[in-house]
Structure 1
Amino acid sequence: MSTPQPNTLGRGEEAGSPPTNNVRPQRGSITSLLIISLVFLMMTNNGGGDDLATRNQYKDSLSSLEWQLGNYSVWLNGSDATDFTLPSRPLGESDIISMVVPRPGALDPLVQSYYPNVTGFIRGDASFRNVSSELVPAIEWNETEVALKIGRWNWSATSRMTMSLLSKPAQVDEKEKEEFQGIAILHGHLEVIDGNNARELQLDFAGIQFLETGSVYGFAQDPGVSIDIRALPSLVPPDLLNITARAIVPALEDNIAKLKVLLTSNDMSENNPTPPDSTCHFAVYAQVHPSNISAIDMRELEDELMDPTGVSTVKRPPFQLDMAVISPDCGVLVEVKSADGIRSRLFFRKVTTYGGFAGLVYLGMLLLLSHQMSESRTPASLSRISRWSFIVQALADSMAFAGHMTFAILADGRPSMALVAPAFLACALFAYEVQFVLLIQQVQAPEDLAAALPLPTIPSPQAASPAQPPSPSENTPIAPSSAVPTAGAQNANATAPPQQDVSFLSIVRIIFQLVWQDDHNRIWYLILIVLALGLRIIVAPGLTVFLLAVLYSSIWVPQIVRGARRGRPSALGRKYVIGTTVGRMLLATYFLGCPKNVLDAKPRAWVYALSLYACAQAALLGLQSSVGPAFFLPQRLADSQGYDYHPPLPDTEAGPLGDCAICMDAIERPTEDTSGKPRRRGAQARASYSLAPCAHLFHTECLERWLAIKNICPQCRRPLPPL
């Protein structure tokens, strides 16, 4: 059994409420946030604990390992009292391996050297080859058995292979250290990536490396099956068979000791709970490329990497290797040429650098959002902002938080702490964006209500006096005659009380109305549902990239649409729009444009088009503020956007139009001066007054100042659309 490898990778305001300049979220949102946090923790809890079945499985594995060690030790001593025999490799395998991974000749240590430690990550493009006819041409294959071993995995679609390795010197006695100093025991994981759907097949790896020749030999198998490393001597050349067989004994003893420690602990996790995609057993042959530096310089590089002192060393050469992964029982060969590798410590430094970079980006976006929220606290500003732009950003930041936290958990040591910073800032940004969405919803809810309610039919607009009470037709709803109960009906209702429906469906309907009708709760529950779906999508890299691309490409589209429909430019500051666009495009371009990013994401050329598209949206928002909200639309569409507060009024009589209910001054009618020319013409003249949907007339300047405090009519308290 292989040793465990640490993972490396509105409400509207009431009529009598006092004016306020700031809009605050209601208390119910805090309760909703606590409920969602509890549900989220329940969803993400793995439910670990002492699993009796898993503990029994580990006990069986321990007994099997102890029996294997005793049996192998007897065979190693040359005794015949054992049933262990070294397995033989199939015919034709050595010829295939010699062509794919040829053994190098002797190196001059003054000119060339091999990497003495391959602990790190290896990534390379892979190609598939069917070698069933080349391995055993004289044996008839059992197609049914081979199909069962291959399973659901499509080996012909293999496009890439990654490998994480942990190298340790052979644990031998002090007397034998000099003899075994050129041998390292390897453990790790091997992942095969399907090029069609980006699925990953993970295999456990156990092997041995010879430092003088840079050769690696090992086995890879499904994590649910223990790797029998006693068969490693069958892979190595005959001249290395004896020393390989002796180096395996300490490795077996180490596996047994670690399994005993695991059994004494209370952390029992399910081992491979799902059926494997493939049960093919693989032999791994790899050859490290020689570097063009001397063995002394290579030793200095390794010492400086393991214990940095700041001394100057030679430039680190590339770490590359060739690899062949072959399965004789399935007839599968996966070939990898010139795979790029990076030492784990260098990778962790790279992750730490990325954590600092991402943290600065998220901190900048958080500061910009905080400043924007402080500048957009009034209803007049909030009514000009699209909540969907911030909902899109909140979804993207929630996925960024989940991704960074997952990466931080899988990382080890200092890189984990470096990734917590961008995860925390992304979570804070998500919380601020949701809070801003609730503020916008609180202001725009009366606006939506005003659009849904029918307007009263008034023959001619008249400005109401402040002292004049509103007419019953304006403020008091009149029920239709059919809705007024008669005396007989009242007596019938008094004698026979209505029967209450207490069925299960009615209870569910009432609970749904209580939960869903509140605007704040509805937004929180929608975000919870989308976040839960996003967490499920994260496990599929292809869908994650697609979803993030869609979100990032539509950040400002809702804001542009709202500005054009309402005829009002955006209230978002230019600093916020430009800073947020640049910050988000920097992160997207790093992951989808940099070929050596920390997640090994494949570069995609369309990310640059995505960045240009997002920048074009930001530029269009700026043009809407300077040129006009609907300047890019045809005139017939631009004129029909929103409610027109300045309609032409009939000239029925001379003199003022009436008194403004806000400033109590007369609203003058446009007249001609002494030269006979009109003071103002057309829309310019009509801009001096504003006629509300409820037919109340005000000065435009007065109504603008009022709507900066409340978005309701100062006369009849009816919700008003934005001015």
Structure 2
Amino acid sequence: MANNPPPFAILLVILLFLYLTPDPPSPGESHRQQHAVAHERGALEALNNSTYGDLHLGKEEDARPLNLTGFRPEHGFRWELLESAQDKARDQARYALGETADGLIEGGSDQYPLLYHNVTGFVEGEWRRTGAYDGPHVNLSAITPHGTYTSEDWKRNVTATSGDVRIHFREKENGEAWNTSVRRISARATIGEETSFGTWWEMILYGIHFVDFGEIILTTTSEKFDGIFGLPHLALSNHTFSLGRDLLNKTLNETIEKQKEGILEDSAPWSSTMEGEDLFSVPHCEYVFYLQQHPVPLNLPGGAAPGNSLVLHHLEEELRFPHRPFLPKTPDMTMSMVAFSPDCGFTIESKGPPDLAPQEGKHLKGPKTEAYAFVARRHVLLFTVIIAAQLLLLLRQMKEASTPSTRSRISFYTIAILALGDGFALLGFALFGMQIESTTMLLLATAYVAFLSVIFFGMGFLKEIWTVQSTERSREERQQAANSPQAPNSPETTQPETLPLPVTARQAINSGATPIIIPSDQDIDAEIAENQDGDANANNQGSPRRGFGSVYLRFYLLLFGLVFLSLHATTWPASVQSVYSSTLTFAYMSFLVPQIYRNVMRNCRKALRWDFVIGQSILRLLPFAYLYAYKGNILLIEPDLNFLAVLCGWVWLQVCALLSQEHLGPRFFVRDTWVPPAYDYHPVLRADEEGASLPSGAKVLAGEEAGMTTTTKAGESRDKSKKIFDCAICMQDLEVPVIASAADADGAGASGLSGGLLARRAYMVTPCRHIFHSVCLEGWMRYRLQCPICREVLPPL
């Protein structure tokens, strides 16, 4: 009969079906979509009916207020900051482009600078606040009369005087086919404040990119600010206003038509709200960014000559469609920034010349996406080598732990933590591989190596360890059940009620004869152990393998839970996110702690290969050393050498603890009352008068007889503080230190005790008083936990 699928698989299929099935639009959503389309149509019509200069409210006599949300006088926006921000943007353009800046902005110059035409990539740097700030003063009731806010605290409200900023640009690869001088562009900006809490804000902005002179204007859009529809009025000249209006008139109309036809179901396609932030309606500050690209430092003769522009064009084409295995060195993008908030009333700008010295900042710098992806591929390839090396060490450890005795020593949780780390890497590379097209194949290949490490080998090794240690867990459960007081009417103590035998049943007759018991011709100890295991598993056949199914479930639930929590943590404040990542990293790098604990509880000196311990410690630390010590890491994490030093020190302490347990004993740093009693295979041997405390099997030295008067008795070496025994495994002499009798305890024997700590590790004494070389008996006990001489059951190491 075929096996039924597990309930978890059926539940997973149902959840995936419900998640992937598109929901039909509700009547409320359809009405909201129609209202949004009508509003966007009116805003686009207002843009087409306006002229440049209408936004300068109260500045000119012929100025007309724009019929856009956030642009009307009664809304209370601080549009008086626009003129100063535009003047600052023009000054930055003059500094970056020189004398031709004004002509390029007005459209009267054909001397185009060396600039990247496609700025897809990211730039980052420091910002400073300029001017006074008195907080937001906006008439929210006039802007959104039907909107309700759950809080009066404004988000994205920058109150610090300085901080960090990072902007990720995304631009169409080939631009607009009908217009090559202006393009639409989107960006994801992250603004951080230098405060004690490390506050940072994220937003999505949409705008236009003037390709000829490198000017980029970005703005946010929300229910209280039609930023994308009023963007041309934020331009620096009438020429750029006309270019921007023509571009937006075409692109916005295409998006509105998609919404009207149902192709695009998003009612706010230009919203600046990040995913997951729209759970609660909270007012947030709006932003307008002016970014000026600086010329690319190619250091070619002739400056902005047409030939050099062609060289830059070929460089961009080679980055986008590489034909050579090694790309040339690509200069980073450099941009100066000025941004202001029209509703919150503050202005910030990037740090750099000419206002500040180059030592204080060099504006915003960063690589293009193609150059970043090329460097990222090399770094990911190195990480693939690290995962392959980890897998090789795991295979060597699995080959070493090929017997039940060796598997029982290994901590299940140590291997589980390593498998969780590989699973985390698997899902992380798979998710990034689906999002970053330029490195998809390499990221998926790395994810496949991690898949082999965690699914085939990691979980297989965990299953073997779980199966071997199931007997130990059953023994502990039975011991706990025996020690716990049972209820008087518990099922264990109540005899089952049975019906009396029928009258015609045959009664047992006691003949008085003595029963004859025929002994078994097999291994009695093995039969006893088999009967005990059979009784224990009579009601639960195959319990170790079936019980591992729950371990599978818990493992993958924990893995997916950590991944989803980590993805959600990217939206947390910087301080909370730092605490979460540091805690998770520290817990992951504590993978040797469970093994140290198991060594103490089982009194085991060594369970893992040293190449596995040292190799895994180094290989697991290398990615964190790359992230916390290398500034150009692919995750753009700021270096933190202090935390990296803490991680390295913590791993070093764990390795030293395992080394000390092997040479000084697994319980040398804990009290005897803290741990359960365990047999000591390396006892101190004392020579009393009868020799009762010494192991059996003392060897008679060659040339010595019982009747001869010599200074050396049988079984003694020339040194009175040592005795010679015969190892029954290797058949070689074993010379062990022996403490003198009580009469001589204060003599030479006492001095031998202080120096014999490491010498006791050379021999092992069984509970049946047989002595062997430590290497010989450990090798024997890897396969059988029986004394090689008398077949007595031995305690596990």
Regarding TM over 0.5, the answer is: yes
Does the alignment pair 1:354 with 2:407? no
Secondary structure class of the residue paired with 2:171: strand
Task: State the one-letter code of the partner of 1:217.
Answer: I
Q: Which residue of 2 is the match for residue 365 of structure 1?
A: 390
CA contact (8 A) 2:339 2:349 kept: yes
Secondary structure class of the residue paired with 1:364: helix
CA contact (8 A) 1:515 1:522 kept: no
* Structure 2 CA distance for aligned equivalents of residues 615 and 589 of structure 1: 13
Q: How does 1:653-692 map to 2 (within 5 A)?
A: 668=697, 674=705, 675-676=712-713, 678-679=715-716, 681=723, 690-692=765-767
Secondary structure class of the residue paired with 1:103: helix
* Structure 1 CA distance for aligned equivalents of residues 169 and 407 of structure 2: 54
Secondary structure class of the residue paired with 2:558: helix
Q: CA 1:260–1:405 in structure 2 vs 1: closer, same or farther (change >3 Å)? A: farther
Q: CA 1:365–1:118 in structure 2 vs 1: closer, same or farther (change >3 Å)? A: same
Structure 1 residue ranges without an equivalent (≥5): 1-27, 456-476, 496-513, 659-666
Q: Which deviates the most, 594-603 or 522-531?
A: 522-531
Q: Structure 2 length as normaliser, TM-score?
A: 0.64
**What CA deviation, in whole Å up to 9, does each residue of 1:557-607 have, x standing for no partner?**
333444455454333223323332222112111222221222211211124
Q: How far off is 1:419 after superposition? A: 1.6
Q: How does 1:121-200 map to 2 (within 5 A)?
A: 121-127=122-128, 131-133=132-134, 151-152=154-155, 155-156=158-159, 159-168=163-172, 171=176, 173=178, 177=179, 181-193=180-192
Q: CA 1:232–1:542 in structure 2 vs 1: closer, same or farther (change >3 Å)? A: same
Q: Which residue of 2 is the match for residue 507 of structure 1?
A: none
Q: How does 1:21-40 map to 2 (within 5 A)?
A: 35=8, 39=12
CA contact (8 A) 1:569 1:629 kept: yes
Secondary structure class of the residue paired with 1:580: helix
Q: Which residue of 2 is the match for residue 465 of structure 1?
A: none
Q: How does 1:59-98 map to 2 (within 5 A)?
A: 59-70=34-45, 72-75=47-50, 85=67, 87=71, 90-96=79-85, 98=87
* Structure 1 CA distance for aligned equivalents of residues 344 and 669 of structure 2: 63
What is the RMSD computed on CA atoms of the aligned residues? 5.4
CA contact (8 A) 2:593 2:654 kept: no
Q: How far off is 1:235 after superposition? A: 0.9
Task: State the one-letter code of the partner of 1:236.
Answer: A
Q: Which residue of 1 is the match for residue 574 of structure 2?
A: none
Q: Structure 1 length as normaliser, TM-score?
A: 0.70
Q: CA 1:131–1:185 in structure 2 vs 1: closer, same or farther (change >3 Å)? A: farther
Q: CA 1:110–1:579 in structure 2 vs 1: closer, same or farther (change >3 Å)? A: farther
CA contact (8 A) 2:412 2:466 kept: yes
CA contact (8 A) 2:419 2:454 kept: yes
CA contact (8 A) 2:185 2:206 kept: yes
* Structure 2 CA distance for aligned equivalents of residues 704 and 134 of structure 1: 75
Does the alignment pair 1:419 with 2:455? no
CA contact (8 A) 1:71 1:84 kept: yes
CA contact (8 A) 2:338 2:348 kept: yes
Percent identity for Structure 1 against Structure 2: 21
Q: How far off is 1:676 after superposition? A: 2.0
Task: State the one-letter code of the partner of 2:548.
Answer: H
Structure 2 residue ranges without an equivalent (≥5): 54-61, 73-77, 101-109, 144-148, 270-274, 352-362, 501-541, 570-576, 706-711, 717-721, 724-734, 739-759
Q: CA 1:593–1:632 in structure 2 vs 1: closer, same or farther (change >3 Å)? A: farther
* Structure 2 CA distance for aligned equivalents of residues 171 and 111 of structure 1: 19
Q: Which residue of 1 is the match for residue 369 of structure 2?
A: 344
Q: CA 1:258–1:364 in structure 2 vs 1: closer, same or farther (change >3 Å)? A: farther
* 1:545 aligned residue (576, 581, 591): 581
Task: State the one-letter code of the partner of 1:385.
Answer: I
CA contact (8 A) 1:552 1:614 kept: no
Equivalenced residues, count: 626
Q: How far off is 1:376 after superposition? A: 0.9
Q: Which residue of 2 is the match for residue 283 of structure 1?
A: 288
Q: Which residue of 1 is the match for residue 93 of structure 2?
A: 104
CA contact (8 A) 1:405 1:419 kept: yes
Q: How far off is 1:410 after superposition? A: 2.7
Task: State the one-letter code of the partner of 2:79.
Answer: P
Q: Which deviates the most, 232-241 or 623-632?
A: 623-632
* Structure 1 CA distance for aligned equivalents of residues 198 and 19 of structure 2: 25
Secondary structure class of the residue paired with 2:166: strand
Q: Which residue of 1 is the match for residue 25 of structure 2?
A: 52
Q: CA 1:434–1:715 in structure 2 vs 1: closer, same or farther (change >3 Å)? A: farther
Q: How far off is 1:52 after superposition? A: 0.7
Higher RCO, 1 or 2 (CA under 8 Å, sep at least 6)?
1
Q: Which residue of 1 is the match for residue 206 of structure 2?
A: 206
CA contact (8 A) 1:189 1:204 kept: yes
Q: How does 1:279-358 map to 2 (within 5 A)?
A: 279-293=284-298, 294-295=303-304, 296=308, 297-310=311-324, 315-337=329-351, 338-358=363-383
CA contact (8 A) 1:151 1:277 kept: yes
* Structure 1 CA distance for aligned equivalents of residues 373 and 82 of structure 2: 37
CA contact (8 A) 1:563 1:569 kept: yes
Q: CA 1:285–1:654 in structure 2 vs 1: closer, same or farther (change >3 Å)? A: closer
CA contact (8 A) 2:220 2:227 kept: no
Q: CA 1:684–1:642 in structure 2 vs 1: closer, same or farther (change >3 Å)? A: farther
CA contact (8 A) 1:320 1:341 kept: yes
Q: How far off is 1:319 after superposition? A: 1.0
Q: How far off is 1:369 after superposition? A: 0.9
* Structure 1 CA distance for aligned equivalents of residues 170 and 233 of structure 2: 22
* Structure 2 CA distance for aligned equivalents of residues 491 and 635 of structure 1: 46
Q: CA 1:553–1:166 in structure 2 vs 1: closer, same or farther (change >3 Å)? A: closer
Q: How far off is 1:423 after superposition? A: 2.5
Q: Which residue of 2 is the match for residue 524 of structure 1?
A: 552
Q: CA 1:273–1:327 in structure 2 vs 1: closer, same or farther (change >3 Å)? A: closer
**What CA deviation, in whole Å up to 9, does each residue of 1:283-327 have, x standing for no partner?**
122222233343424334223323434499985333121223322
Q: CA 1:717–1:59 in structure 2 vs 1: closer, same or farther (change >3 Å)? A: farther
Does the alignment pair 1:384 with 2:384? no
Q: Which residue of 2 is the match for residue 236 of structure 1?
A: 235
Does the alignment pair 1:113 with 2:114? yes
* 2:782 aligned residue (708, 716, 722): 708
**What CA deviation, in whole Å up to 9, does each residue of 1:55-89 have, x standing for no partner?**
654454344434444554455799x9x99658487
* Structure 2 CA distance for aligned equivalents of residues 718 and 325 of structure 1: 82
Q: Which deviates the most, 584-593 or 568-577?
A: 568-577
Q: How far off is 1:362 after superposition? A: 1.2
* 2:427 aligned residue (394, 402, 411): 402
Q: Which deviates the most, 256-265 or 524-533?
A: 256-265
**What CA deviation, in whole Å up to 9, does each residue of 1:156-215 have, x standing for no partner?**
368433322233577475xxx5xxx43222223323346666776442211122234322
Q: How far off is 1:545 after superposition? A: 2.0
Q: CA 1:650–1:442 in structure 2 vs 1: closer, same or farther (change >3 Å)? A: farther
Q: CA 1:290–1:357 in structure 2 vs 1: closer, same or farther (change >3 Å)? A: same
Q: Which residue of 1 is the match for residue 623 of structure 2?
A: 587
CA contact (8 A) 1:593 1:605 kept: yes
Q: CA 1:573–1:244 in structure 2 vs 1: closer, same or farther (change >3 Å)? A: same
Q: Which has the larger radius of gyration?
A: 2
Q: CA 1:349–1:315 in structure 2 vs 1: closer, same or farther (change >3 Å)? A: closer
Secondary structure class of the residue paired with 1:643: coil
* Structure 2 CA distance for aligned equivalents of residues 268 and 95 of structure 1: 30
* Structure 2 CA distance for aligned equivalents of residues 551 and 336 of structure 1: 38
* Structure 1 CA distance for aligned equivalents of residues 453 and 666 of structure 2: 31
Q: How far off is 1:518 after superposition? A: 7.2
Task: State the one-letter code of the partner of 1:520.
Answer: F
* Structure 1 CA distance for aligned equivalents of residues 384 and 338 of structure 2: 40
* Structure 2 CA distance for aligned equivalents of residues 427 and 278 of structure 1: 44
Q: How far off is 1:490 after superposition? A: 6.9
Q: Which residue of 1 is the match for residue 562 of structure 2?
A: 534
CA contact (8 A) 2:32 2:267 kept: no
* Structure 1 CA distance for aligned equivalents of residues 674 and 772 of structure 2: 21
